[in-house]
Structure 1
Amino acid sequence: MTERELTAPVSLTLPNGQVNPEAIGWARQPIVDTSGIGRGLGRNKRWEYWNVTTPTHILALTVSSIDYAAVHEVWVFDRATEQTWDKGATVVPSRGAELPANVGSGPARARAKDLEIDVTASTSGEPGGTRLRARIPGASFDVFAELPEGHERLAVVVPWSRTRFQYTVKDVARPASGSVTVDGITHEVPAGQSWAVLDHGRGRWPYDIAWNWGAGSGVSHGRTIGIQVGGRWTEGTGSTENAFFVDGRLHKIHDELAWDYAIADWRRPWRITGGGLAASFTPFFDKTTRTDLAIISSRTDQCFGHWSGTFAIPGGETVEFDGILGWAEEVHNRW
């Protein structure tokens, strides 16, 4: 399978709200305009998910509006003690959320009881990257995710039909720095050892859907490595969200990948292979989330751990990597 590479700005939607056929493909930068996603008959999903890995902590925030509800979360994990600070909010009907029309075109904010999130991009006062601020009882963080010159980001339009489609931007291996405070004690998010990942989503989804997602960022053998893999939800669409990054350069993987894992035995190493990638993922923690609110239900196992393996660059070298911190997850949503 070979996907079309998009090289010029294009609108995700047509004037009638359906997917624009000219937008179906992938790009090295977020050049797809999603400002029209509010048009059409319901089922619109918009979110910003950021994750930051550090030598001592893992940090995450979510700002989202899934049409009839706003769903937000802040999560802080101490890698040494496995203690967590977590606060989520599901607000029905959707309110208290601000999301930009496009990647970085404005701030993303969420407000709910005992939860504050502010994401500020370069276009709204943070030159050179994105600032991530979040606060919940017992924990807060202030992190800057640098956007280096020439850094490439995977942007993909996945079509299920003319009226059901998703635009995803997976931005991995962003250098991060700042601080995290838990129970009154502040810890450094050290530059050169900390990495930020963005999952930016805009689309109109089927009600019942399952997916796998894996990501990793770090330095191995003197090179900056970014791993971005996904599965299940893209099958049969002609699109994939798979890519491997070396020193900021994106190498697209057009194949659907084979995932071998068992959530019931989540500590067992996962194997993800195909398209030149032979990767092993060894988890050390399973973040489980279960939600059942009648119309909305979700089951998520997000396992954090380390990636190792090889990637064969088409027509080039084979890159070895190990010790790359990240995650692999299994999700089933009814939303």
Structure 2
Amino acid sequence: MQRRITKAQRLLNDRGELNDKGYATEMLLEYRREDIKARSYRIKEWDYYLVANDDHAVALTVADNSYMGLLSVSILDFNNARFKTTSIIKPFTFGKLRLPSSSKTGNVMYKDKRIHMEFLHENNTRRLKCSMKNFDKGKDFHCDITLYNEPKNSMVIATPFAEDSKAFYFNQKINCMTAKGTASIGGEEVRFNPVDSFGILDWGRGVWTYRNTWYWGSASGMVDGKSFGFNIGYGFGDTSAASENMLFYDGVAHKLQDVQFHIPMNNAAGKFDYLKPWVFSSSDHRFEMTFTPILDRSDFTSIGVIASDQHQVFGRFNGKAILDDGKVINVQNFLGFAERVYNRW
């Protein structure tokens, strides 16, 4: 079942439960933090941007997870399979970061002695600015990147959690935005040229249960002169009403059913072998891909009852995707990522 939401309405009813469940291709639902009836420490809100080309990527995160805020910066070098992530944790934010209630309006702004981060709406563009002192071995990080040509359609989903009627996952993912700008560490600069650079937004608001494992994959680029991208994933609550699997071709969304991540195992160790080739398959046979990893942007945190084990693996997709009208998109060496994340939060 893939239930599509087509009517603008409040996300939550007076009991703090979802008014409707399913997916949309635009931001129709109105999120209001004051409508939430769950305990305040269960509220999770974040804005995550990734800007990438075939050589480099920059990831910027501002998250307010109630008892913990997070400001994170990553820069990735695909040619040398290297990355650096520096994160700053702020205790007991509980909404103090004031993340906007809509992805379409409002700015994200944070500044302290070490980091200054801004996600700004400017003249139908999104401008990402960040300065962080001592990002890597005494070297400072700076970036100023503009995202534009935002596609007509995006992935929007409202998903409940079966174990808690007041828990929900509300998310928008925007693929295939054109990117231009620069990022630098010390005196070394990386340029994002609009000819071959793309940005994505992962905008999340919700009330989460304590223990979760999710899978997410995304890619954006050009195929045969048209913008093409996809969002795939599961593990984000009860997806019986709809999955978040979607293709984007020339700005238009094409809905998929269920997509499965086949991550290789190291049988001797009993663990996932994230840097060996993956396989992706779909229940409707419209997304069949192999994935050759380049690097694993891994991170592990454990503080008391809070833990996070993240593996965001960047690499290249090869295979086919089929649009709603039957058109086959052949994908070759298409840069993207796929991740598995386990959280106790």
Runs (5+) with no aligned partner, structure 1:
none
1:242–1:296 distance in 2 versus 1, CA, 3 Å: same
Give 1:2's aligned residue: 2
Report if aligned partners of 1:221, 1:321 keep a CA contact under 8 Å in 2: no
Q: 2:125 aligns with which of 125, 129, 149?
A: 129
3-state SS in 2 of match to 1:206: coil
Identity %: 25
Distance 1:107 1:87 in 2: 22
Q: CA deviation at 1:113?
A: 5.3
Distance 1:268 1:81 in 2: 17
Give 1:294's aligned residue: 304
Mapping for residues 1-335 of structure 1, pairs under 5 Å: 1-3=1-3, 5-20=4-19, 23-36=20-33, 39-40=36-37, 41-42=39-40, 43-94=42-93, 97-112=97-112, 114-121=114-121, 126-136=122-132, 137=134, 138-148=140-150, 151-161=152-162, 162-234=165-237, 237-253=240-256, 255-262=257-264, 264-274=272-282, 275=284, 276-335=286-345
Q: CA deviation at 1:7?
A: 2.1
1:81–1:112 distance in 2 versus 1, CA, 3 Å: farther
3-state SS in 2 of match to 1:179: strand
Runs (5+) with no aligned partner, structure 2:
135-139, 266-271
Count of paired positions:
326
Q: CA deviation at 1:220?
A: 2.1
Report if aligned partners of 1:277, 1:312 keep a CA contact under 8 Å in 2: yes
Q: Deviations over 1:247-268 (max 9, x none)?
A: 1110011x22221112632222
Q: Deviations over 1:6-55 (max 9, x none)?
A: 223211111332222xx312111112111236632221111000001024
Distance 2:167 2:323 in 1: 33
TM-score, length-scaled by structure 1: 0.91
Q: CA deviation at 1:287?
A: 0.7
Distance 1:146 1:216 in 2: 17
Q: Which moved more, 1:91-100 or 1:101-110?
A: 91-100
Report if aligned partners of 1:73, 1:86 keep a CA contact under 8 Å in 2: yes
1:273–1:267 distance in 2 versus 1, CA, 3 Å: same
Q: CA deviation at 1:63?
A: 0.6
3-state SS in 1 of match to 2:289: strand
Distance 2:344 2:322 in 1: 37
AA in 1 matched with 2:103: V
3-state SS in 2 of match to 1:273: strand
Q: CA deviation at 1:112?
A: 4.9
Distance 2:63 2:307 in 1: 15
Distance 2:277 2:251 in 1: 27
Distance 1:51 1:265 in 2: 24
1:210–1:262 distance in 2 versus 1, CA, 3 Å: same
